[in-house]
Structure 1
Amino acid sequence: MSQPLHRRTVLQCLVAAAASTAFGCHDDELPVEDGRPYFPQSVASGDPRALSVVLWTRVVDPERPDADIALTLVVARDEAFQHRVLEKAGLLARAANDHTLQVKVTHLEPRTRYYYRFIIEKEGQRLGSPVGRTRTAPAYGANAPVRFAVANCQDFRGRYYNSWHRLLQLDEDLDFVLFVGDYIYEADSSAVPSPDPARVVRFSDPGSALPRDLGGGRGELVAQSLSNYRDLYRTYRSDPFLQRVHERYPFIVVWDDHEFSNDCWDAHATYTDGRTEELQPERRRNAELAFFEYMPLDTTEAPAGVLDPEGLPRYPDTRIWRDFIFGKHLRLLVTDYRTYRPDHLIPEDAYPATVAMDAAVLGSLGIAGAFAADAFAYVNIDEFPAQQAVLRGAYVQLAVGAGLTAEAAAARAAALVRGNLALAYANPVLVAAAQPGAGPIDPAGKPRGLAFVHLGKQELFSSIGARNVVIKDTFDVYAAWRYATSGGGAQHALGEAQEVWLMGLLREGASTQTWKVMASSVSMTSMIWDLRAKADVEPPTVRNRYYFSVDQWDGFPDKRNALLAALRERTDGHGLVVAGDIHAAFASVEQGVPCLTAPAIASTAVQEEAGEAVEAAGFPPGSAVYRYVVTEQEATFREGNPGIAFVDTNAHGFTVLEVGPEEVKAAYHLLPSSEVRVDYSARPEELAARFSRSDFHVRPGGTIDAA
């Protein structure tokens, strides 16, 4: 979308024109002294292309906290800055942008390493930032392999960036680092105690943050204001290992949910699971501006010079999806899963008894016979006023217990406890209430349909049965029906414009690069718990197939299959998906397309998260459910999805890919999750010994083989 130019943008464009042509080295200039204290977040580079790259820094001057600060940028071919290609003074790190500065440098050479630094002048001294190193992409036709690391999910609170430390130890010869989301987590450290005060997140203006009730008397503050989000980036970028990785490699970054709000969609948060309305457009815009200020991005392929974060479109006009060409063999398609996606298909506040697909719908689809059992019986509860009154009373009691006022609970009960309701939910409530004249309703002769309870929804306000742990087989039926009746809109995760862009790049003749790699913030690997044949699982009603998380692509199964088909068919078998989000390492083939999911840098491993969830659901360690879903989680995932070639759900780390003409090599570097709270900064040899490595070959046509 075009944006109107204002005076500030025009001035910056003038500076940009000068920056792209200013060269020179002066023999009589003052030496550059170490000025690291003035650059507390160091330097970074990003979005490398064959002829350009974006360079970034943040500068602070305690004597001028509210003033714009002039900097000089120097770029050279050598670390000693003897062979300079650019030197430009008078670049302003503006107070309005938290004293961050991004400069796009153009007219560079392909596949060339450059060194850069920013300089501030103070009292006759020239004080330099740490020296950054970056590299441009290979020329379009260059027949050379491309190597990059995939990383994601780096919770800072009480954790150490041992994975970044290990990447630095390896000193990999990388073209870039692809970070696929959750660069920050939006919360402070209230709910995550840390014995190390250096690994704590605090807001400088806590009064502008949003309180979040975690239940059980626990709470935390989550970022809401621009100041809050800036605090997060400042804190995360204070880590010395993350700084050094940014100093060494250019990054290509896309956001996931935590850069704004957990499990978000559009501008909606999900903290209250439907108890309150959580449309927060201003909060979303604040989150985006801080992201644009702190990430070196070239989302609009802007001209050379200073880039203005405030000049970028923000919600609802945001666009961060973009593509990169690296030589002859890689076209990287960076997608945005969060900004345009619709709500989760099962509402968090869905009344479990509500019938979503009635007998007429099932009949029209020709599948009524599959749901003939009494478990799928429903009635029009309006025809049973005594039972309806009991169910409404139970709803009010549950809703008030969940935090609603009595008035709000009564209003919801009146709106929801009506019409077609499933007896699978209603009858147990009626039995428990034991009200004379309002007993359970006989399912004999009643119509059959699918209600939210049949999809796994058991509680009024919960992510379980909505975003997590849904019954796969019934969910797939419901999802397909919603997909068909909405013209695909119910599962349009990428939004119309982005999908048109993506399909255009995948069309025949649109790109000559050997491999088309789609970067997705959330995993394409289908993660299924199949408990159907587990005779020791109690109660028997739990013996189903479950999607572990429908916040990721499993939640949009029909759209997922359509995208995978396009990647498979339009790339001559040379399509690949790389992703993150789930805090586990996966390599799988989905619908003929290899899908690689990198483990988290530092966030809680999925095995630990699943253990907490399963215990909270009433299945303690020692129970069969806990054993299959937690203790034997990896085997259970493999049983549920035979396409999984590799899985590790209890490790942190990163994945290094090498894309060549014949195959893609993938190396998973993994650290046991128990080590994330151990500081190895002074013990590099011990850290190296605790990492393991698993290597795979990805070949055309959708095969993944262990090396």
Structure 2
Amino acid sequence: MDRRQFMKAGGFVTVSAATVGLPGCGGSSASTGPDTPPASGSSYKFPQSVASGDPKPDGIMLWTRVVPSSADDVTTSSSASNFSVRVLVTEADNAAALGSNTALSGTTVVDTTIPVLAEFDNTVRHKVTGLSAGKTYYYQFVAGDVRSKVGRFKTAPAKDADVAQLKFAFLSCQDWSINHWGAYSDLAGQSLDFIIHLGDYIYETVGEAFQTGAVETRHTALSLPNGTFKNGVSGAKYATTLADYRYLYKQYRTDSRLQAVHERFAFVAVWDDHEFSDDCWNDAETYSNGSYNATGGDNNHQTTRRRSANQAWFEFMPADIYFNNTTPDGYFNIRIYRELQFGKLAHLVMTDERLYRSDHIIPEAAPNPATGAAIGSIGSRYMAPETTLLAIEAQKMAGAKAVGLDELVFTSILGQVQRDWWKDTMKNSTATWKLWGNEVSLLKMGVDGTNAIATLLALQAVPTLASGIQTALASTGGNAAIAAVVVTALTAGASQATAGAAGMALATADAMGTSLPAAGVDAGLSSADAAIAAAAYMAAKAAAAGGLAAQVAAGAQTIAFGMIKPDVVAKKANSNFIPANLKAGLAPFFTKFVINADQWDGYNAERKLLMKHLKDNSIKNVVALTGDIHAFYAGTVHDDYNGTGGGTPVMVDLVTAGVSSDSFFSYLKDAVGSLSASLATLVYYPLTVPVTGLGDVVLNVNLLDYTLGKAAPTAASLAESLRVQLRGALAAKGVPETQLDGFTTTVLTGLQAAPAFTGQLLPLAGQLSSLNSNPWLKLANTDAQGYAVVTLTTAGLSCEFRQVNKLVGGNAPSASTLVAKTTTATVSKDVAAVTVSGS
């Protein structure tokens, strides 16, 4: 086999060994010849700059793309010819030249010539070995007289090295077509050892609904070379061909801020779904629901498209992985799961959670019991009924076992081979910290629909109950406590006479110091209703210092949550407190839901198996670093979330929001209406804020965080949670950036005094928080963009979640105001727990 054929079979990777101290003696496994003549002259350019990846103690993967200067930066090269370029590496300090085209100075440890092949879109992937551990190097490519920008990387410490500290960032979800990439400007200024990218480096769709909001002006509209219209009629297209996927990587990589980060730090990258297709599994897309028959559902499989996505990712990511574009083995021609070690301190395990995963437990094509139509994404991947999910998972596992297959073959994210590798790697690791580069969150994120609906109905009843108490004051001599008893009795169905008698009976008992509930029973109330009446009486009485309005409110809330909520919880759709016109619509939601079954929540059995493995083998200090869901989360992963008390915490999951992708909150806000308008308050509350000189500003208050389990707010903290959204809204109305922060503070201060804010919104957030839906969640910020920075020592891990502000006049915020908020999650050695500050 000749050398060129070897490069093709091996994924066109060339290799050279550094020779420390001997200038120009680095050698290469590739050779040049007639088909790869040396580049000469000045007619070349490096439109996507340079990059490095997968730092080892002795090596690195280097990357660039070089084309004739006449070629467009992102389309196919205008020349189909091959040529060769030089790559230089030095350990001399070239910090002053970093990111510039200045000639690399100092003694080189690598100076070799490598081929550039048009069939791989003129990308270069060159592996350097023989380097020193824990050292910073600088590198540059040279094509004729043209130099690339200078890049930098740091090799990993020796595997047996005692490492005092590691500092790295992890990030994901950088949609070109929405919001801004200012986070990369902030990231480039950090002092880091490396960067972990958890996927959604590109988005395969162009013009999709979630990509049509505000975007920075420097990100021009994308236009796929080929593309396929989604559903055949929409203006949105999705990448289909190799040319489409290559185009996206090339266009994304033209952003100078992303280039600057690649130039400064080595990446350790994996993909998630959008590098191929949204919520994909194997080679299947989920844009359409697929088909369904007696054996179950199945999505549309697109093997050629999957192979194209694999190749483009390999061509443009500086990852030291296996890829073979000549193999006939379908789409399993690439392996991206791998491990890297950083001394005795950290072992990084990167997984692939798309290529080997099985179909979603509930197929999208499964018929909706109510309509017979395909259930679709809502009900299968999102807001999936937990009991149905677990039952179908159990059926699939039993079916696999019955025919002698791996029990999880139809219910796995990792697949058996990768799962066994993960288990062995974790068990055999001798590093203090086991870090898991994990694409989709391990944290359970659910909501009890029954409890949530009952809470919302009780809240909605408070104004009506308050009005009733206000009316009853006329017949009770203005006594709010007695009026609360009257309304309690009437709400329970008692007659006016019985209600009045009960009010007087409780007041008399109170004066005499006897039992209030007993007095209510003697007046004709049931024991349960008498207990609620007594509670309402005492609540109104206790609020007397706050005035009559406070007494009325206290009594109304006690009735709502003492009578209405428990009745709805017990009787569900049969409760008389549910309006007749809402019963049918709400009936399907009186159950527990998994919010996102595309995450590990949808593959519960495999998650339990992995956590059991960690627990049974006393594997401690495991922390997952996660992306995908466009939100900041921190919490503990349990061995069995459905077990007694929610199970035992085994490890920690830290989840970063997207760099630019629209937030999880924004997606759910747009989707909840299609479920039920009655449930919208679980996600958001529309709030109109009049602003002097600007008119009304409409905010969508994020209540999803409280529904998920965020601690009940104060008026000040609830107002502060609106700062980033309000600042962005004021910027959109033309407020100059220099005035934004002060203006925002003034509006938020005034908002806290608004009756609707303190009297309606604040109690609502508090009640949703009291659902205690996911007590293992210690941080939930579902409406954010940004990234995370980890500082790791032997004693503990500290993670800064850096949330960025929104667009200002079509641009990313300036450097001084770019970062809106920093929240810190801390994990101590040997303790599966996380504490959060600054939230």
What percent identity do the matched residue pairs reach?
A: 30
Q: Is 1:231 paired with 2:247?
A: yes
One-letter code of the match for 1:287? A
Q: Is 1:184 paired with 2:202?
A: yes
In structure 2, C-alpha distance between the alignment counterparts of 1:648 and 1:337, rounded to whole Å: 24
Q: Is the 8 A contact 1:697 1:706 kept in 2?
A: no
Distance 1:196 1:694, change over 3 A: closer
Counterpart position of 1:257? 273
Distance 1:35 1:6, change over 3 A: closer
Cα-to-partner distance string for 1:345-378 (whole Å, 9 max, x where unaligned): 111111223xxxxxxxxxxxxxxxxxxxxxxxxx
Q: Is 1:609 paired with 2:667?
A: yes
Measured after TM superposition, the shift of residue 626 of structure 1 is 5.1
Cα-to-partner distance string for 1:160-190 (whole Å, 9 max, x where unaligned): 111112212xx32212110111100001236
Q: Is 1:581 paired with 2:628?
A: yes
Q: Is the 8 A contact 1:293 1:309 kept in 2?
A: no
Q: Is 1:669 paired with 2:802?
A: yes
In structure 2, C-alpha distance between the alignment counterparts of 1:622 and 1:605, rounded to whole Å: 17
The alignment partner of 2:391 has SS state of helix
In structure 1, C-alpha distance between the alignment counterparts of 2:416 and 2:817, rounded to whole Å: 49
2:354 to 335, 338, 354: 338
Cα-to-partner distance string for 1:312-370 (whole Å, 9 max, x where unaligned): 987124311100010111111101010011101111111223xxxxxxxxxxxxxxxxx
Larger radius of gyration: 2
Cα-to-partner distance string for 1:130-176 (whole Å, 9 max, x where unaligned): 110100001112222222111001000143111112212xx322121
Q: Is the 8 A contact 1:34 1:129 kept in 2?
A: no
The alignment partner of 1:218 has SS state of coil
Structure 2 unpaired stretches of 5+: 26-38, 71-77, 98-103, 292-297, 401-406, 458-581, 639-648, 687-699, 710-771
Measured after TM superposition, the shift of residue 671 of structure 1 is 2.1
Q: Is the 8 A contact 1:520 1:579 kept in 2?
A: yes
Q: Is the 8 A contact 1:341 1:492 kept in 2?
A: yes
One-letter code of the match for 1:162? G
Measured after TM superposition, the shift of residue 493 of structure 1 is 1.4
Q: Is 1:493 paired with 2:413?
A: yes
Counterpart position of 1:476? 390
Give the TM-score, by structure 1 length.
0.75
Q: Is the 8 A contact 1:614 1:620 kept in 2?
A: no
2:6 to 1, 5, 9: 9
Q: Is the 8 A contact 2:60 2:155 kept in 1?
A: yes
Counterpart position of 1:282? 304
In structure 1, C-alpha distance between the alignment counterparts of 2:444 and 2:636, rounded to whole Å: 10
1:549 to 596, 609, 620: 596
Counterpart position of 1:680? 812
Structure-to-structure mapping, 1:114-513, within 5 angstroms: 114-121=137-144, 126-144=145-163, 145-168=165-188, 171-189=189-207, 191=209, 192-193=211-212, 198-203=218-223, 205-206=225-226, 209-213=227-231, 218-274=234-290, 278-300=300-322, 315-353=331-369, 425=370, 459-486=373-400, 487-507=407-427, 510-513=428-431
The alignment partner of 1:655 has SS state of strand
Counterpart position of 1:113? 136
1:40 to 16, 33, 47: 47
One-letter code of the match for 2:367? Y
In structure 2, C-alpha distance between the alignment counterparts of 1:640 and 1:480, rounded to whole Å: 24
In structure 1, C-alpha distance between the alignment counterparts of 2:238 and 2:812, rounded to whole Å: 29
One-letter code of the match for 1:220? A
Q: Is the 8 A contact 2:445 2:595 kept in 1?
A: yes
2:707 to 616, 624, 636: 636
In structure 1, C-alpha distance between the alignment counterparts of 2:790 and 2:141, rounded to whole Å: 31
The structure where helix makes up a greater share of residues is 2
Count of residue pairs brought into register by the alignment? 576
Distance 1:670 1:36, change over 3 A: farther
Measured after TM superposition, the shift of residue 659 of structure 1 is 2.3
Measured after TM superposition, the shift of residue 33 of structure 1 is 14
Counterpart position of 1:414? none
Q: Is the 8 A contact 2:396 2:410 kept in 1?
A: yes
Measured after TM superposition, the shift of residue 129 of structure 1 is 0.6
Q: Is the 8 A contact 1:528 1:546 kept in 2?
A: yes
Measured after TM superposition, the shift of residue 82 of structure 1 is 3.5
One-letter code of the match for 1:325? Q
Structure 1 unpaired stretches of 5+: 27-31, 301-306, 354-424, 430-457
Q: Is the 8 A contact 1:160 1:602 kept in 2?
A: yes
Cα-to-partner distance string for 1:84-128 (whole Å, 9 max, x where unaligned): 33343431121111110011011101110000010111xxxx211
In structure 1, C-alpha distance between the alignment counterparts of 2:153 and 2:353, rounded to whole Å: 28
Counterpart position of 2:64? 57
State the Cα RMSD in Å: 3.1
One-letter code of the match for 1:617? L
Counterpart position of 1:570? 617
In structure 2, C-alpha distance between the alignment counterparts of 1:36 and 1:648, rounded to whole Å: 49
Q: Is the 8 A contact 1:201 1:235 kept in 2?
A: no
Q: Is the 8 A contact 2:216 2:812 kept in 1?
A: no
The alignment partner of 1:213 has SS state of helix
Distance 1:5 1:272, change over 3 A: farther
One-letter code of the match for 2:157? P
One-letter code of the match for 1:595? D
Measured after TM superposition, the shift of residue 463 of structure 1 is 0.6
Distance 1:697 1:34, change over 3 A: farther
In structure 1, C-alpha distance between the alignment counterparts of 2:384 and 2:174, rounded to whole Å: 27
Choose 521-530 or 567-576, whichever is displaced more: 567-576
Measured after TM superposition, the shift of residue 701 of structure 1 is 2.7
Counterpart position of 1:560? 607
Structure-to-structure mapping, 1:64-103, within 5 angstroms: 65-77=79-91, 78-79=93-94, 81-103=104-126
In structure 1, C-alpha distance between the alignment counterparts of 2:357 and 2:317, rounded to whole Å: 23
Q: Is the 8 A contact 1:155 1:184 kept in 2?
A: yes
The alignment partner of 1:92 has SS state of strand
Give the TM-score, by structure 2 length.
0.64
1:520 to 438, 449, 452: 438
The alignment partner of 1:556 has SS state of helix
One-letter code of the match for 1:107? G
In structure 2, C-alpha distance between the alignment counterparts of 1:635 and 1:36, rounded to whole Å: 58
Choose 5-14 or 92-101, whichever is displaced more: 5-14
The alignment partner of 2:286 has SS state of coil
1:647 to 769, 776, 780: 780
Measured after TM superposition, the shift of residue 460 of structure 1 is 1.6
In structure 1, C-alpha distance between the alignment counterparts of 2:287 and 2:358, rounded to whole Å: 17
One-letter code of the match for 1:128? R
In structure 2, C-alpha distance between the alignment counterparts of 1:290 and 1:312, rounded to whole Å: 17
One-letter code of the match for 1:694? T
In structure 1, C-alpha distance between the alignment counterparts of 2:435 and 2:418, rounded to whole Å: 16
In structure 2, C-alpha distance between the alignment counterparts of 1:12 and 1:21, rounded to whole Å: 27
In structure 2, C-alpha distance between the alignment counterparts of 1:266 and 1:238, rounded to whole Å: 30
Choose 281-290 or 639-648, whichever is displaced more: 639-648
Cα-to-partner distance string for 1:30-79 (whole Å, 9 max, x where unaligned): xx999898111110000001000001001111456222232111111121
Distance 1:618 1:572, change over 3 A: closer
In structure 1, C-alpha distance between the alignment counterparts of 2:327 and 2:141, rounded to whole Å: 23
Counterpart position of 1:660? 793
Choose 493-502 or 83-92, whichever is displaced more: 83-92
Distance 1:243 1:533, change over 3 A: same
In structure 1, C-alpha distance between the alignment counterparts of 2:8 and 2:238, rounded to whole Å: 36
Measured after TM superposition, the shift of residue 256 of structure 1 is 0.6
